[in-house]
Structure formats: C-alpha cells, structure tokens
Amino acid sequence: MNCPQCQTANGPGSTFCGNCGTRIAAAPATASAGYDAPQGYHAAGGYSTGGPQGQYQPPAGGPPTPGPSGLPPVNFDHRRLTRTDKIVAGGTFITMISIWLPWFSISWGSSTFQDAGSASISGTTGHGWLWLEFIVALALLAYLAARAAWDRLPFTMPVPHSPLLIAGTSLQLLLVLIAFIDIPYGSDGVGLTWGAFIALLAALAAAGPVVGPPVRSYLDRRKATGGGPRSY
C-alpha cells in the first residue's frame, strides 16, 4: 500500500512507511508492549542513531506531529505541477526579473555638441509602481511552489486554482502593458529598449495558457448561439 504522507509504495501488511516512518496501518493488538523496529528507527517519523538496538515503542498519539512551523514536511516534486503551471511559473519569473532590466533609453543634446549623451533606466526607475508587478509575480511563484512542495496544500485558498492563475497572470500582463505604453518623462528623447520587450513577451507567455482557453471557449459559444445583436 502507498504511504499517505510521501506516497512511497510499501509491502502488504506494512505498519509504518519504510521511507518516512508514517503509520500506514493499524498496529496489531499484540504490539502494544513494543516490538523491534529497523535499526535506528525513531518514533517521531524517521531514523536516528539513538535507542538500544533499535527497540521501538509505538507512539501514544497517532501519526507524527508537524514540525516547529506547524506545516507538514515538505516533499518538493515538480511533477505535481501541470504543464500550464510550469509555463506560468517560467513566464512569471522572467517577467519579475525583467522589471529591473533597461526599459527606457534617454538621449539628450545633439551629436554636434559636447553635452550630448544617452542613458537607460529600468522599468522600476521609470515607473515606481511596477513594484506592484513584483508583488503579484512573487505571490504567483510562492503559490506554485507550495503546490509542488505538498501533495495537498496545508492552507485553504479562497479562489480555485484556474481562476487564481487567470486573475494573477492577467493582472501581471495589465501592469506590464500599461508600463510599456506609458513612456515616462514624455516622448521627446525617450524610447523603449530591450528590457521592456522581454517583460511584455514573458507576461504574454505566462497569461496565454490560462487566459486563452476561456476566451476561445467564450467566443465559440457566442458563435454557436449566433452572438451579436438580434434583428426583430
């Protein structure tokens, strides 16, 4: 049978998981007085070097208690994430990094004068409110990391998974798009540079897999039902 904690396959009749030590079956009635466990086994949920000859006494309170943080043990497995989740995570990470890359180039003067020159500034320098995109991206990445760390989230989300990704990636794309269009300091001598284009493409890549299917489904329904104004 599989361990309910780490999903490790154990042999028939196993009482404790051979990988993490979690109880996976009720102990036999004859085991109340104690029995020999594998060498170095510790009742709190693992192996240790203490104890005489691995002598084991069954714990009094059932399954192992959570760690000091109150959260169950982390067992990070990227296979818990879907392909869409991974695309969202990658696009969001690149978008978050891109806000500190050169977004805008500023040139002044003329080549005929000695005071002519140019410089570039990052997205957060040109638009201080782009730190909001950093917060949105960080929240999305933390949420996806939690889904990979635990088979079942140890906390309750107020919004289901798909709507949460749609809302997060759409807000991220909106912030980047506004910053892309709204060139700071006026348009005289200020232009977009490569960092802004990377951010926009990454935000589109993150939002596409989650926003595209609902939009296509909505358009298909309207087409199937003869959407548009009816004539009477």
Same domain, 95 and 205: yes
Task: Count Cβ neighbours within 10 Å for each residue of 24-61 and write b for 16 or more, e otherwise.
Answer: beeeeeeeeeeeebeeebbbebeeeeeeeebebebeee
- Residue 222 has a pLDDT of 82
Give me the phi and psi of 218, to 5 degrees please.
-65, -45
Mean pLDDT of 65-73: 63
Same domain, 89 and 56: no
Same domain, 121 and 168: yes
In a domain, 14, yes or no: yes
In a domain, 100, yes or no: yes
In a domain, 65, yes or no: no
Same domain, 150 and 40: no
Which residues constitute the domain of residue 112? 78-224
Same domain, 129 and 184: yes
Whether residue 184 contacts residue 106, with contact meaning beta carbons closer than 8 Å, is answered with: no
The count of domains in the chain is 2
Q: Which two tokens stand for residue 111?
A: 């080549």
Same domain, 122 and 170: yes
In a domain, 70, yes or no: no
Same domain, 10 and 85: no
Same domain, 152 and 51: no
Q: Where are the beta strands (DSSP E) in the chain?
A: 35-36, 41-42, 46-47, 55-56, 102-108, 117-122, 190-192
In a domain, 213, yes or no: yes
Q: Model-level pTM greater than 0.85?
A: no
Amino acid at 168: G
Where residue 150 falls (left for φ over 0; alpha for ψ -120 to 50; beta otherwise) is beta
Rounded Cα distance, 121 and 124, in Å: 8
In a domain, 230, yes or no: no
In a domain, 71, yes or no: no
Same domain, 110 and 185: yes
pLDDT at 27 over 60: no
Same domain, 98 and 51: no
Per-residue pLDDT tens digits for 120-157: 899 999 999 999 999 999 999 999 999 999 988 888 88
Residue among 176, 27, 199 nearest 97 (CA): 199
Same domain, 196 and 97: yes
Give the H/E segment covering residue 13.
none
Same domain, 46 and 95: no
Give SS3 for 215.
helix
In a domain, 66, yes or no: no
Rounded Cα distance, 114 and 87, in Å: 48
Per-residue pLDDT tens digits for 162-177: 999 999 999 999 999 9
Q: Which two tokens stand for residue 25?
A: 């079956």
